Amino acid sequence: MDIRSINVHHASPAIAKRVTAWFERPSRVGVLDGGRSIHLPHPEKRGYSLKIKGAGHLGGEIKFGTYPDKGPTAPRFDFDGRMMVDVASGHDNAFVGGASFQQAATEYRMAREFAGLGIDVVACVGFGSVSTDTHVSWFSIHEWPIGYLDLSADETDNYRLANLEVGQLMLNLAQHHGKVGYFWVAKNAAGHKVAFDLHPFTAVDPLNCSQLSWVMQLAFTYSVRCQACEVFPALERVKNPDPDIAAFPLRALLPSATRDDYLDLRHNLMKPAKQLSRGEFSSTALLKIISSTRIGRVLLDHCPTEYARYAG
């Protein structure tokens, strides 16, 4: 499929030239990173590679018009706490090998937000789009520090501690900075960590969200982060995972959280809340669902006071 145009925003001219060349050339070489990212030599900085997220499927072409259909979705919760689907922010809104408009723009904005807060993060130096006559795909551009690797699931305290730290930062961002989402970290040989993969974030504020919607948005993000703790050790074939590993992100909220709390969150909060939103919804019923779980009650307590409280 012929490329009609390539647009790069915010990046320096040298970086924009290198990124444009990647998409223009049918014969190209890059270091593959997952299903849709590649690393190229950085034209301006030593010690960094240039990572393009949305560079093509397995280092090849973007499959314009083909969606991955593997989730997860991205629910949003209105002022009453009702669950809705934010199609633009879902993982499946990007073509196979590409990124979505929301993913690319949010990576850029949230990397700057993290850096401004003093959080060590993989810098996102720009984003852009690749267009054909019928479709548009997006990409983000990152300065990846050489020597840093995605922190893999294992049996050590490193993985457990990283999940606790991520959970703590998720809560801090929601309470003090109006940002709700999940992410992961990469680590170098010295143990220093940097955050990356920031596109799942959204903004919350007391004008658009109540205590109910704040709690539900956090409950969803923690459920995704906890599920990752369950899935990735299995994929890595970790032999003796901690039986409570899926609850480690929750220990930022509740230090005594166990696997039972994670299952309670999934099956007794998120599932009935979703079912309630499909039928005759009421905030009173949702508040009862939230209050029936330990994590739900803790989130109600953690919600900043400026978010309106529902009483019904």
Q: How far, in Å, CA of 31 to CA of 18, rounded?
A: 14
- The secondary element (H helix, E strand) that includes residue 186 is strand 184-187
At 92-109, the pLDDT tens digits run: 889 999 999 999 999 999
pLDDT at 134 > cutoff 90: yes
Q: How far, in Å, CA of 132 to CA of 111, rounded?
A: 28
SS3 content of the chain, % helix, strand, coil (to 5): 40, 20, 40
* Mean pLDDT value across residues 168-180: 98
Q: How far, in Å, CA of 59 to CA of 32, rounded?
A: 6
Q: How far, in Å, CA of 94 to CA of 137, rounded?
A: 7
At 47-63, the pLDDT tens digits run: 999 999 999 999 999 99
Q: What pLDDT shows up at residue 149?
A: 96
Go through the domains of the chain in sequence order and give each one's CATH number: 5-62+97-145 (3.30.200), 151-302 (no CATH)
Q: What pLDDT shows up at residue 217?
A: 98
**pTM of the model as a whole:** 0.94
Q: What pLDDT shows up at residue 1?
A: 58
pLDDT range class, residue 71, cuts 50, 70, 90: low
Tokens 């390539």 identify what position? 6
Q: How far, in Å, CA of 28 to CA of 26, rounded?
A: 6
Preceding amide of 68 cis, omega within 30? no
E-strand stretches of 10-95: 31-33, 37-41, 48-53, 75-77, 83-85
pLDDT at 203 > cutoff 90: yes
pLDDT at 255 > cutoff 90: yes
At 190-200, the pLDDT tens digits run: 999 999 999 99
pLDDT at 69 > cutoff 90: no
Q: What pLDDT shows up at residue 115?
A: 98
Q: What pLDDT shows up at residue 241?
A: 86
Distances in whole angstroms, Cα of residue 27 to Cα of each of 36, 46, 50, 60, 77: 17, 25, 18, 9, 45
At 207-233, the pLDDT tens digits run: 999 999 999 999 999 999 999 999 999
Provide the terminal-to-terminal Cα distance of the chain, rounded to the nearest Å: 57
pLDDT at 249 > cutoff 90: yes
The percent of residues in the chain predicted with pLDDT above 70, rounded, is: 99
The percent of residues in the chain predicted with pLDDT above 90, rounded, is: 86
At 2-55, the pLDDT tens digits run: 899 999 999 999 999 999 999 998 778 899 999 999 999 999 999 999 999 999
At 266-301, the pLDDT tens digits run: 999 999 999 999 989 999 999 999 999 999 999 999
* Mean pLDDT value across residues 223-249: 92
At 123-133, the pLDDT tens digits run: 999 999 999 99
**Mean pLDDT, the chain, as a whole number?**
95
Structure tokens at 220: 């969803």
